A and B are shown apart, each in its own frame.
Chain A
Amino acid sequence: MNRKTIWTLCRVAVLILVILTFTPLFTPQNQADPFLWGMPYTLWMGLILSFLLLALTVLGSLVHPGRKKEDN
């Protein structure tokens, strides 16, 4: 897979995660269960979501088309 494809996939993945943020998967109404590491559902899912987005940012920064142009 070339860098451009990975960059596109990163953007699509971020978009999907953003959409999922507003669904019951991440923000169920009035539901605190199940708890993980002592934290209510929305908080630990929110933390996982944040780390996923950050990982995509790291990956995106490595394959961003602007980086290749600068390397050249």
Chain B
Amino acid sequence: MIKTLIIVGIIYLGILVSFTMLTRTREKDSKSYFMAGSNLGAFLGLFTFAATLFSTFTLLGMPDFFRVHGVGAWIFLAVSDIVMVFGLLWVGYYLRKKTSGYQYLGMSGFMERCYESRTAGLVAFLGAFIFLVPYVAIQIRGVSIFLQEAFPQSLPVWVYSVCIVIIMLIYSEIGGLKAIIYSDVLQGIVLLVVIWIIGFLCLKDVGGVTQMFTTIGEQNEALLSTPGPNGLFNFQFLLGSMVAICMIPFTQPQVSTRLIIMKDQKALFRTAIGLGTFAILVILPTVFLGMYGAIKYPDATTSEFLGNTLIHDQPGVLGAFVIIGLIAAAISTADSQIFALGGETRSLMSGEDRTMVGRARLSIVVFAVLSFVFAIMSSDELVLLARASFAGTSLLAPMIFTGIFYDQSARLKALPILTLVAIIILVCSNFGLIGSMFLGIRMDLLLLGLLSVIAVILVQVDKSKEA
């Protein structure tokens, strides 16, 4: 396998270098560097959305989620993702309309403009920063612990993490968003092909769909329904997850940037349809992987299960592709997020464009280093950490939606401040400083609900004053 891994790795790196060189521009202005020229067609759009959304979390986290918590994971992610795609179609149109004729560089700058308030921009930035850095970190950590499991006695986790961060930084710093988008196409295809091959082999190994679920029914029947063996997939968890996931295109800057830079509405619509199809295609084989794990490795740790299922139980050549596919998946998501944070930084700065781009590029390095540190410290609960990230950024949704839909949002200065308070409360809750439930309701769901109600009240009060 090592020989194949080296060959495949060199080919992969060679393609990445080629993309970087092809997309490299001497003049690095904000529009070309951070927004890739704002002329994205449906094909590139689909794969860059897909590679950004479906990542280590999908390839490593979801099989483990199915293995431990059962088939309800399909509702948790696949159904939520397709509802999100419909939201992309619905609200995405209005976001693009609102930003047309304005040089959009990031949601933070856009919020600053909508609310005519520096605070609003800073709150949008802070929300993205606090909850995206851990999300980037889990991509890096996920692959690093997987590599260590695949090659025990080789390198420590932090060395793998450093290598991933360096590769990611080199090509995104040189080529900008365009290089990331082109590499996303490669990474999206690799992810889809690899996961289907392994999914098919695992399914075959356990005797097909019927036999697989019959065996699981005999071993652990609770995996075949909600809320699952540990009771995770209850109403509140599923609802909170769906709401948080649906907000991603508007609250996570790496996705909203892609929405804005689509060439036209038709390209966005085609991308949305493709993305929904991709979601089903990429999540379905993770069911097979998870159920295979539930049969063969019911009591194994996450890394043991993943190492065995994805590498040791597969033919050597395939194992090499899995490793490259995983690295590709992690890099494609992590670089987009880190880069988007750079874009958010740029959107808050004013001054000579070239200088500001330079500073924003420097901030990308800082964010990458912070993510690396977090990756070393974070836990192995990939999906739950990702969910915490989705839930955290979703708190920005009431402020962002009000900015998009209400033309007089500049008069609602209290909303950004209340959003900040909600973010602080959720962070305290995540760190265990205060409870995760209040009056029997999950804290993330409660805060989002309260912010949404407050936003509606503020708009109505403002409208009545005007009348």
Taking Cβ atoms with an 8 Å cutoff, the residues of A that contact B are 11, 14, 18, 21-22, 26-32, 35, 37-43, 46-47, 49-51, 53-54, 56-58, 60-61, 64-67, 69-70
Which residues of the partner chain A approach B287 to less than 8 Å between Cβ atoms?
43
Task: Determine the residue in chain A with the shortest Cβ distance to B233.
Answer: A27
* B276: A residues at CB distance < 8 A: 53-54, 57
Distance between A51 CB and nearest chain B CB, rounded to angstroms: 8
Q: Does B109 contact A (CB under 8 A)?
A: no
Cβ-defined contact, A50 with B82, below 8 A: yes
Which of B208, B239, B269 neighbours the largest number of chain A CB atoms within 10 Å of its CB?
B269
Q: Which of A22, A28, A30, A54 contacts B280 (CB 8 A)?
A: A54
Given contacts A27-B72, A46-B75, A61-B272, 13 further A-B contacts (CB under 8 A): A30-B227, A32-B221, A35-B213, A38-B208, A38-B213, A39-B209, A39-B213, A43-B224, A50-B280, A53-B276, A57-B82, A61-B270, A66-B269
Contact in complex: A67, B269 (CB < 8 Å): yes
Chain B residues lying within 8 Å of A64, measured Cβ to Cβ, are 89, 93, 265, 269
**CB <8 Å contact, B93 and A42:** no
How far, in angstroms, from A15 to B346 measured CA to CA in the complex? Answer: 37
Question: Within 8 Å of chain A (Cβ to Cβ): is B79?
Answer: yes
Provide the B204-222 mask, 1 if CB < 8 A to any CB of A, else 0: 0000111111100100011
Cβ of A26: which chain B residues have Cβ within 8 Å of it? 75
Chain A CB count within 10 A is highest, among B83, B85, B227, B242, for: B83
Q: Are B90 and A60 in contact (CB under 8 A)?
A: yes
Contact with A along B254-294 (1 / 0, CB 8 A): 00000000001110011011001101100000010000000
**Is there contact, CB below 8 Å, between A41 and B225?**
yes
**Could you write out 18 A-B pairs with CB less than 8 Å apart?**
A28-B225, A38-B210, A40-B71, A40-B224, A41-B225, A43-B74, A46-B74, A50-B79, A50-B82, A53-B86, A53-B276, A56-B86, A57-B89, A57-B272, A64-B93, A66-B97, A67-B269, A70-B264
* Main SS at interface, chain B: helix
Please name all residues of chain B whose beta carbon is closer than 8 Å to the beta carbon of A43 when the two chains form the complex.
Answer: 71, 74, 224, 287
B residues near A41, Cβ cutoff 8 Å: 225
Q: Give CA–CA (A38, B288) in the complex, Å.
A: 13
Q: A32's contact among B78, B86, B224, by CB below 8 Å, is which? A: B224
Contact yes or no, A61 B82, CB < 8 A: no
Q: Which residue of A lies closest to B93 (CB)?
A: A66
Q: Contacts A29-B225, A30-B222, A67-B265: A42 and B90 contacting too (C-beta < 8 A)? A: no
Distance (whole angstroms) from the CB of B368 to the closest CB of chain A = 35
**Are B225 and A42 in touch, CB under 8 angstroms?**
yes
Distance from B144 Cβ to chain A, minimum over Cβ atoms (Å): 32
Q: Which residues of B contact A21 (CB under 8 A)?
A: 75, 79, 238, 242
Q: Closest CB-CB distance, A21 to chain B, in whole Å?
A: 6
Q: Are A42 and B273 in contact (CB under 8 A)?
A: no
- Judge whether B226 and A29 touch: CB under 8 Å: yes
Q: Cβ of A46: which chain B residues have Cβ within 8 Å of it?
A: 71, 74-75, 78-79
Min distance, Cβ A61 to any Cβ of chain B, angstroms = 4
Q: Which residue of A lies closest to B276 (CB)?
A: A54
A27 to B75, CA, bound (A): 8
Question: Which residue of chain A has the shortest Cβ distance to B209 in the bound complex?
Answer: A38
Contacts of A11 in B (CB 8 A): 90
Instruction: Please determine whether A32 and B75 come into contact, CB atoms closer than 8 angstroms.
Output: no
With both beta carbons as reference points, the residue of chain A lying nearest to B72 in the complex is identified as: A42
Per-residue A-contact encoding for B90-110, CB less than 8 Å = 1, 0 else: 100100010000000000000
Residues on the B chain within 8 Å of A56, using CB: 86
B266 partner residues in chain A, CB cutoff 8 A: 67, 70
Q: Are B79 and A61 in contact (CB under 8 A)?
A: no
Does B86 lie within 8 Å of A14, measured CB to CB? yes
In whole angstroms, what is the CA distance A49 to B134 when docked?
31
Q: In the complex the two chains form, is B74's CB within 8 Å of A54's CB?
A: no
Q: Mark B414-429, 1 if CB is under 8 A from A, else 0.
A: 0000000000000000
When the two chains form the complex, which single residue of A49, A60, A69 contacts B89, counting CB atoms closer than 8 Å?
Answer: A60
